Amino acid sequence: MRPSLLDPLFVPVTSLDGVGPKVATLIEKVVPADLTAREARAGDLLFTLPSSIIDRRNRPGIALSAEGAIVTLDVRVDRHQPPPRGNRSVPYRVFVHDDTGEMALTFFHANATWLERSLPVGEHVVVSGRMEWFNGRPSMVHPDHIAFADKAEGLPLVEPVYPLTAGLHAKVLRRAIGQALARLPALPEWQDAELMRRQTFPGFADALRRIHNPADPIDVSPEAAAWRRLAYDEILAGQVSLALVRANVHKHVGRRLQGDGARIEALRAALPYRLTASQEQALTEIDVDMAKPDRMLRLLQGDVGSGKTVVALLAMARAVEAGGQAALMAPTEILARQHFSTIAPLAEKAGLAVAVLTGREKGRERAGILEGLENGSIDIVIGTHALFQETVRFRDLAFAVVDEQHRFGVHQRLAITAKGEAPDMLVMTATPIPRTLVLTAFGDMDVSRLTEKPAGRQPIRTVTLPFERYDELVGRISDALAEGQKIYWICPLVEDSDEVELTSVEERHAALRQEFGSRVGLVHGRMNGRDKDEAMRAFKQGETRVLVATTVVEVGVDVPDATIIVIEHAERFGLAQLHQLRGRVGRGSKASTCVLLYKPPLGETATARLSVLRETEDGFRIAEEDLKLRGEGELLGTRQSGTPGFQIARLEFHADLLEIARSDARLLLTRDPALESERGEAIRVLLYLFGRDEAVRLLRAG
């Protein structure tokens, strides 16, 4: 249960003054939390951190204020000059002076009563805003702040600037954040006292107050002590929850999975190729883990096309030899079916019974599969989220493989392992994540890496092409088709949108059909499963030769003889995603090309992204570059995991903190596995604050 002292932070933002449903909707666009399943809360506002400040400390006097500068001025009010009656286009001017000169405060569509009240003639006032010089005369249009000189104390001289969205006024957001801060209860300190001293960390509340009420530009930079403190909180919350998951996994004793090797031999004999040295190496590591009585928890990392599937298959066969069953979980139906269609013919030769289970298997077919899993006549099941369902029971699930791991949350990882008696677990990811990120995302998992691609692969030629040359591109595609090549054509969106002018996949499909007729296929996320399958099958077998698609083909889809991929609006995709997409070609022995079609002008980051892609195919290097360009939050898609504050800990600044947090978390749980000590209790508060409730739930379950 959530500690009740956190209640004031878990109220909806609409309970704050000045925040109605409309403002709340706008606030939901800027808070750093996943709001798919809940509304924005006061606590989310605390983690909405400023990106910069407005410095109002400059008080040069009227005559010395530079054009465009933000200044704060002590002035005396001389006279008001309202616009002529009925003429709304002339502004209301209030003339003021100080020792250095005279200026006008200018207001459009002014409320005269309000101006007379805030700027009475003869009064000494402080105004702050942007200085404008026009024809040698200074003025300030709509000052940001106006206060009587004797009440100007409280005027914020350094103001935080928050991410805003159209319609959300800075003042409204600041006021809401101010209220959230005021509701922050006294919390126990969860950080180690010695570490606090060494790092000169302020307390949690102090850190938040300092960042939201900066006294100096330094206060809102990631290097500031206050910022580092919060970054450390975020990282520690992540590490503790991963350590809890891991402890939970290891708590259940595993079993030895060893067999006579007969099925493995049969499988190897059926493979049309030899395994690469990395594949062999990974298999050896997995075999060793499986043979141990401890529970296995291993991450298999390998760039797209490095051949992870066959490694998974051989490992699953080992589990079956040992008398158990195995499950392979894929993030999409297309992928699950693709795995099934590669694995099934091989498995058959080794006498393994394989089934596929997604949301689509229904009725009698489904009942048959469920029965086979329960009575053990099915050895290996390949599926999607459908495998988590309650009705799915195994006779003896001994081994679980999760493909494209980062799409599944910790929850789901646990859900599948709960279906067996402490099954060994292999998670596979094609996103080549730098080591530091493996730790933040997965904690202390063992890692195997496929570092080489199968022999005979040709490098992919990557070119960038501005959209003006579309016709030329179509000409080249026509040539390629004449040579019998297969082409992916990727578009960013499914439907036309008014806001962004993107060619929808359907429009592109229609246009290419005009050129190439029925050889052009279409697949996108809004199609139903059977149609998707059919489109993939037709392309795979060559009935269609151009496949217009959205990013549904991003992950793992395997059509080895596709040699060209065109990515339309390449500037809209992230680096990792572009790399994944490009990996759809270059899977066979023929030379391949990736065309990045873009709409000029390219922004700075987009230019950098596209040139990284042109320079290298090394997924690990691309991941490092991506990290530099974007920060790890986006890279891992942690936004989806719904952890508040995910943006605080930019690892490029705080990599050192990660190492500290790792050992801190491990030590903490060794000494106090149930988090019952005083510090442990405080850590629970931290976990709730950072949305790691699932980790706390594990404690209770334990």
**Number of residues located near ligand ADP, criterion CB under 6 A:** 19
Residue nearest to Mg ion (CB): 556
Closest CA to 205 of 184, 219, 223, 220: 184
Cβ atoms 299, 442 nearer than 8 A: yes
Residue 1 DSSP symbol: -
254 contributes a contact to Mg ion by CB under 5 A: no
Q: Binders of ligand ADP among 408-447, rule CB under 6 A? A: 430
Q: Which two tokens stand for residue 188?
A: 């126990």
Gap between the Cα atoms of 140 and 426, Å rounded: 64
Give me the 231-270 binding string for ligand ADP, x by CB under 6 A, dash otherwise.
----------------------------------------
Contacting ligand ADP (CB under 6 A), which of 582, 587, 609, 662? Answer: 587
595 contributes a contact to ligand ADP by CB under 6 A: no
617 contributes a contact to ligand ADP by CB under 6 A: no
492 contributes a contact to ligand ADP by CB under 6 A: no
Three-state DSSP class for residue 429: strand
DSSP 556-603: S---TTEEEEEEETGGGS-HHHHHHHHTTSS-SSS-EEEEEEE-SSP-
Of the candidate spans 24-32, 357-365, 444-452, 554-562, the one that interacts with Mg ion by CB under 5 A turns out to be: 554-562
Q: Which two tokens stand for residue 680?
A: 């442990």
33 versus 304: smaller Cβ distance to ligand ADP: 304
Gap between the Cα atoms of 594 and 596, Å rounded: 6
Give me the residues paired with residue 77 across strands.
96
Q: Which two tokens stand for residue 331?
A: 């993030």
Cβ atoms 648, 47 nearer than 8 A: yes
Of the candidate spans 117-125, 405-413, 436-444, 548-556, the one that interacts with Mg ion by CB under 5 A turns out to be: 548-556
276 contributes a contact to ligand ADP by CB under 6 A: yes
Gap between the Cα atoms of 1 and 178, Å rounded: 27
Cβ atoms 538, 521 nearer than 8 A: yes
275 contributes a contact to ligand ADP by CB under 6 A: yes
Gap between the Cα atoms of 637 and 485, Å rounded: 34
Nearest approach, Cβ of 421 to Mg ion (angstroms)?
28
Contacting ligand ADP (CB under 6 A), which of 454, 586, 619, 633? Answer: 454
Nearest approach, Cβ of 454 to Mg ion (angstroms)?
13
Q: Give which of ligand ADP, Mg ion, none residue 41 binds (C-beta under 5 to 8 Å, depending on kind).
A: none
Distances (CA, A) of 210 to 160, 401, 651: 10, 46, 21
Three-state DSSP class for residue 185: coil
Nearest approach, Cβ of 276 to ligand ADP (angstroms)?
5
233 versus 403: smaller Cβ distance to Mg ion: 403
Residue nearest to ligand ADP (CB): 307
Q: Give which of Mg ion, ligand ADP, none residue 275 binds (C-beta under 5 to 8 Å, depending on kind).
A: ligand ADP
Distances (CA, A) of 399 to 346, 402, 682: 19, 10, 36
302 contributes a contact to Mg ion by CB under 5 A: no
Nearest approach, Cβ of 441 to Mg ion (angstroms)?
18
Nearest approach, Cβ of 339 to Mg ion (angstroms)?
8
**Number of residues located near Mg ion, criterion CB under 5 A:** 1
275 versus 511: smaller Cβ distance to ligand ADP: 275
Gap between the Cα atoms of 53 and 64, Å rounded: 23
Q: Which two tokens stand for residue 268?
A: 């190897």
Nearest approach, Cβ of 378 to Mg ion (angstroms)?
22
556 contributes a contact to Mg ion by CB under 5 A: yes
Of the candidate spans 22-30, 148-156, 235-243, 305-313, the one that interacts with ligand ADP by CB under 6 A turns out to be: 305-313
304 contributes a contact to ligand ADP by CB under 6 A: yes
115 versus 555: smaller Cβ distance to ligand ADP: 555
Closest CA to 595 of 559, 572, 562, 570: 570
Q: Which two tokens stand for residue 340?
A: 């099934």
Closest CA to 435 of 312, 307, 301, 305: 301
Closest CA to 598 of 559, 572, 621: 572
Q: Binders of ligand ADP among 636-675, rule CB under 6 A? A: none
Contacting ligand ADP (CB under 6 A), which of 163, 217, 560, 574? Answer: 560
586 contributes a contact to ligand ADP by CB under 6 A: no
Query: Which residues are near ligand ADP by CB under 6 A?
Result: 273-276, 279, 302, 304-310, 430, 454, 556, 558, 560, 587
Query: Which residues are near Mg ion by CB under 5 A?
Result: 556
